[in-house]
């Protein structure tokens, strides 16, 4: 027993060394393929390392290998780990914003069972079950739809195409660190999570946090959509801490309160009182430029054109109702037996 316990930390170190080497190999291979040098500010790295767990071993050490080899880091806002369930594969994605080229590499879990010496000796084909390269820049794809068809319809990045292309296109066009980080938590960057950013900005303008000790935002998300993951990252409004309550609506209910995007409360926990806004979000409030190519491009394109409104979130938002909330009302809005839109008096 003592012997086993003594061995465990050593095993973990060996695992980490293999993972670190995996990250290093991924970076070396991708940088060669993209013809970029260490420290190139045009390069973005996205990875599932840190979330993926392979045969019981965590994968965060791969991030260390990536950083050492490429120079990219979270501090430079050019390396992010994208949320995936732990049982999904560990992959690496390198994007060069200078030309839109991207390389995707997925680790072969078999290779990760080797000792460090054995692992170092493996060829790229043995380390990675997939290495693929594609141009994912939306402006390039608009003129090369045949290449886009190959990438998206044939799943060149093992099903991660939209997720990775969306995040990298917005990153390349100056998406802020906090927004990119929130989209990585959401798994992808879609118009839905962008609407979350706009709603958050709107609420912050109308109901600013004046007392950072007592005040916080609480969201009664009804109906739910991708927006809700942004509030968790930006406001720390998580369900576990009663910051976010999420309920779906039937189609008939959605029709009854057009564009309803939930109830947003600035809550003062000392005064046990808050200010609430029932907000609507109308994606069709303005006529956005339209993507005319194959369907895989439409949301990617919408991601880009929506960024023009990042300083004008009110374009899409309307106040359905403004009201005060006390502790009893807050409890009713959150309670499973109640209908929050009826409690709020908007339905
Ligand atoms: Zn989404």
Coil, strand or helix at 79: strand
Alpha carbon of 273 to ligand 1 centroid (Å): 32
Alpha carbon of 306 to ligand 1 centroid (Å): 14
| Alpha-carbon torsion (305, 306, 310, 312), positive or negative | positive
Alpha carbon of 6 to ligand 1 centroid (Å): 45
Q: How far apart are CA 219 and CA 321, in angstroms?
A: 15
Alpha carbon of 304 to ligand 1 centroid (Å): 14
Alpha carbon of 181 to ligand 1 centroid (Å): 14
CB neighbour list of residue 319: distance below 8 Å, 6 or more residues apart: 206, 277, 278, 279, 280
pLDDT digits (tens, 9 = 90+) for 289-303: 999 999 999 999 999
Tell which phi-psi region holds residue 77, choosing left (phi > 0), alpha (psi between -120 and 50) or beta: left
**pLDDT digit of tens for each residue in the chain (347 aa)?**
555 555 555 666 777 999 999 999 999 999 999 999 999 999 999 999 999 999 999 999 999 999 999 999 999 999 999 999 999 999 999 999 999 999 999 999 999 999 999 999 999 999 999 999 999 999 999 999 999 999 999 999 999 999 999 999 999 999 999 999 999 999 999 999 999 999 999 999 999 999 999 999 999 999 999 999 999 999 999 999 999 999 999 999 999 999 999 999 999 999 999 999 999 999 999 999 999 999 999 999 999 999 999 999 999 999 999 999 999 999 999 999 999 999 999 99
Alpha carbon of 94 to ligand 1 centroid (Å): 22
pLDDT digits (tens, 9 = 90+) for 42-59: 999 999 999 999 999 999
Alpha carbon of 302 to ligand 1 centroid (Å): 12
Query: Which pTM was predicted?
Result: 0.95
Alpha carbon of 186 to ligand 1 centroid (Å): 7
The residue ranges of every structural domain in the chain are 2-188, 192-343
CB neighbour list of residue 132: distance below 8 Å, 6 or more residues apart: 103, 104, 156, 157
For the chain, give percent helix, strand, coil, nearest 5. Answer: 45, 20, 35
Are 306 and 300 in contact, with CB atoms under 8 Å apart? no
Output the six-digit token pair for 124.
Answer: 């790229």
At 14 the pLDDT is: 72
CATH 3.30.1330 fits 192-343, yes or no: yes
pLDDT digits (tens, 9 = 90+) for 202-257: 999 999 999 999 999 999 999 999 999 999 999 999 999 999 999 999 999 999 99
Alpha carbon of 188 to ligand 1 centroid (Å): 6
CB neighbour list of residue 67: distance below 8 Å, 6 or more residues apart: 23, 73, 79
Output the six-digit token pair for 331.
Answer: 């409890």
Alpha carbon of 64 to ligand 1 centroid (Å): 29
CB burial string 126-157: b at 16+ within 10 A, e below: ebbbebbebbbbbeebeebeeebeebbeeebb
Are 237 and 218 in contact, with CB atoms under 8 Å apart? yes
**CATH code of the region 2-188:** 3.30.1330.20
What are phi and psi for residue 279, nearest 5 degrees? -115, 150
- Other beta carbons within 10 Å of 177: 14
Alpha carbon of 228 to ligand 1 centroid (Å): 9
């Amino acid at each position: 027993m003592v012997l086993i316990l003594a061995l465990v930390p050593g095993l973990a170190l060996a695992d980490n060394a293999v993972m670190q080497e995996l990250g290093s190999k991924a970076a070396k291979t991708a940088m060669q393929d993209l013809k970029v040098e260490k420290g190139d500010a045009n390069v973005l790295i996205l990875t599932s390392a840190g979330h993926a767990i392979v045969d019981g071993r965590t994968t965060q050490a791969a991030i260390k290998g990536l950083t050492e080899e490429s120079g990219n880091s979270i501090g430079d806002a050019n390396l992010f780990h994208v949320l995936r369930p732990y049982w999904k594969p560990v992959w690496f994605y390198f994007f060069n914003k200078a030309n839109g080229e991207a390389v995707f590499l997925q680790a072969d879990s078999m290779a990760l069972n080797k000792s460090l010496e054995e692992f170092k000796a493996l060829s790229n084909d043995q380390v990675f079950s997939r290495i693929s390269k594609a141009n994912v820049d939306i402006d390039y794809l608009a003129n090369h739809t045949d290449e886009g068809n190959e990438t998206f319809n044939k799943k060149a990045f093992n099903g991660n195409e939209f997720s990775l292309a969306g995040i990298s296109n917005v990153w390349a066009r100056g998406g802020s660190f906090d927004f990119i980080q929130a989209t990585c938590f959401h798994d992808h960057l879609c118009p839905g999570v962008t609407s979350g950013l706009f709603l958050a900005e709107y609420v912050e303008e109308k109901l600013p946090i004046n007392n950072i000790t007592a005040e916080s935002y609480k969201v009664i998300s009804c109906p739910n959509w991708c927006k809700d993951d942004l509030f968790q990252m930006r406001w720390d409004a998580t369900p576990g801490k009663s910051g976010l309550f999420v309920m779906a609506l039937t189609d008939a209910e959605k029709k009854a309160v057009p564009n309803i995007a939930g109830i947003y409360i600035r809550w003062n926990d000392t005064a046990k009182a808050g200010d609430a806004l029932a907000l609507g979000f109308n994606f069709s409030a303005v006529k956005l430029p339209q993507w005319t190519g194959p369907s895989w491009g439409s949301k990617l394109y919408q991601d880009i054109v929506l960024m023009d409104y990042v300083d004008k979130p009110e374009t899409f938002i309307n106040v359905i109702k403004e009201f005060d909330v006390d502790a009893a009302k807050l409890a009713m809005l959150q309670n499973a037996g109640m209908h929050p839109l009826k409690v709020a008096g908007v339905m």
